[in-house]
Amino acid sequence: MKIAQFYENGRVRLGLIQAGGMTPLDFEGDMISFIGSDRTMDTQNSQTLPLDRVKLAPPLTRPAKIIGIGLNYRDHAEEQNAKIPDEPIIFTKFPNTLIGHNDQITWDRDVTSRVDYEAELAVIIGKTIKHCPESKALEAVFGYTCANDVSARDIQFSNTQLVRGKSLDTFCPLGPWIVTADEIPDPGSLNVRCRLNGNLMQDGNTRLLIFNVPSLISFLSRSFTLVPGDIILTGTPKGVGTFRDPPVYMKDGDEVIVEIEGVGRLINTCRTG
């Protein structure tokens, strides 16, 4: 099942993606409310809408946590001559970063001039867990979506921590929808790609994750409770702009596409001020 959030009359609603369109759900509440409910799929009073007539919202708009994982692909560590980490490298992004499919990534050139793309598989937690064993970890997943961990590299590399360079407004495109976990029984073998203005920049597979999805969920849950709607960005494969020769950074008018096998394509444009 593919389930999306969309805007209607100034509020967020839920819809099922099916047959080339979207059918609104008869549900009062947003995605996090839905994840925590009995998940009734009532569409009997709804008419399927063409997707081009729907304004999609980010699949989640009020997560308790957005958890980023750094250096989690072997080839990404190798492209920057970095040591393979012994345990996951964790950072956070703030909810103000969230935007949806076809929204604009924006930044002030007086704040940053080195804005980079990072295609990532995002995991959406579906139930409250603490000290979850790896063997049970996938049972806690509601679904998966595409993410772009947009990064201000000049800020990131000049700070001793990652949060500010990762948390500028609009710096976490997410979407276009969530694919529920039953449709992706093995998140450890998915192609992850990024295109910038049509040029293939990243072409990886989650087989190359250093810490796979179950191990990440288990590791994180040993330190803090994970709750429905928490987002885990699992890391990015090689090919990011900052480690290219010469470096490639996003600029005004660029189009960036994150595509994940079995999930979908997340498309955003860039605007600078």
pLDDT in tens, 191-239: 999 999 999 999 999 999 999 999 999 999 999 999 999 999 999 999 9
The pLDDT, as a whole number, for residue 10 is 87
Residue range 23-40: mean pLDDT, rounded? 89
Overall average pLDDT of the 24-33 stretch: 93
Answer yes or no: do 123 and 28 share one domain.
Answer: no
Pair 84, 175 in one domain: yes
Is the predicted pLDDT of residue 107 greater than 80, yes or no?
yes
Q: Are residues 129 and 178 in the same domain?
A: yes
Q: What pLDDT does 20 receive? A: 79
Please give, one letter per residue, the 3-state secondary structure of the chain: CEEEEEEECCEEEEEEEECCEEEECCCCCCHHHHHCCCCCCCCCCCCCEEHHHCCECCCCCCCCCEEEEECCEHHHHHHCCCCCCCCCEEEECCHHHEECCCCEEEECCCCCCCEECCEEEEEEECCCECCCCHHHHHHHEEEEEEEECCEEHHHHHHCCCCHHHHCCCCCEEEEEEEEEHHHCCCCCCCEEEEEECCEEEEEEEHHHECCCHHHHHHHHHHHCCECCCCEEECCCCCCCHHHCCCCCCCCCCCEEEEEECCCEEEEEEEEEC
Question: Within this chain, do residues 24 and 112 fall inside the same structural domain, yes or no?
Answer: no
| Same domain assignment for residues 114 and 15 | no
Q: pLDDT-based confidence at 159, cuts 50/70/90? A: confident
**Could you tell me if 182 and 236 lie in one domain?**
yes
What residue type is assigned to position 218 of the chain? S
pLDDT band at 240 (very low <50, low <70, confident <90, very high): very high
pLDDT at residue 75, rounded to an integer:
87
Closest CA to 206 of 113, 134, 123, 265: 123
Residue 43: the pLDDT is 66
Q: What is the pTM of this model?
A: 0.96
Give the pLDDT confidence of 32-57 residue by residue, as tens digits: 999 988 776 666 667 899 998 999 99
- C-alpha 59/C-alpha 47 separation (Å) is 21
Domain containing residue 257: 66-272
Whole-angstrom CA distances from 212 to 54, 172, 225 are 34, 21, 19
- Over residues 248-261, the mean pLDDT reads 98
Residue 60 inside a domain? The answer is no
Q: What is the CATH number of the domain that holds 190?
A: 3.90.850.10
- Supply φ then ψ for residue 15, to 5 degrees: -150, 150
Is position 59 within any domain? no
The confidence score (pLDDT) of residue 160 equals 81
Same domain membership, residue 114 and residue 32: no
Q: Are residues 41 and 117 in the same domain?
A: no
pLDDT band, very low/low/confident/very high, at 82 (cuts 50, 70, 90): confident
CA R_g for the chain? 18
Report the distance separating Cα 86 and Cα 210, nearest Å: 9
Q: Are residue 136 and residue 261 in the same domain, yes or no?
A: yes
Q: Are 73 and 191 in a shared domain?
A: yes
Q: Per the domain annotation, does 38 fall within a domain?
A: yes
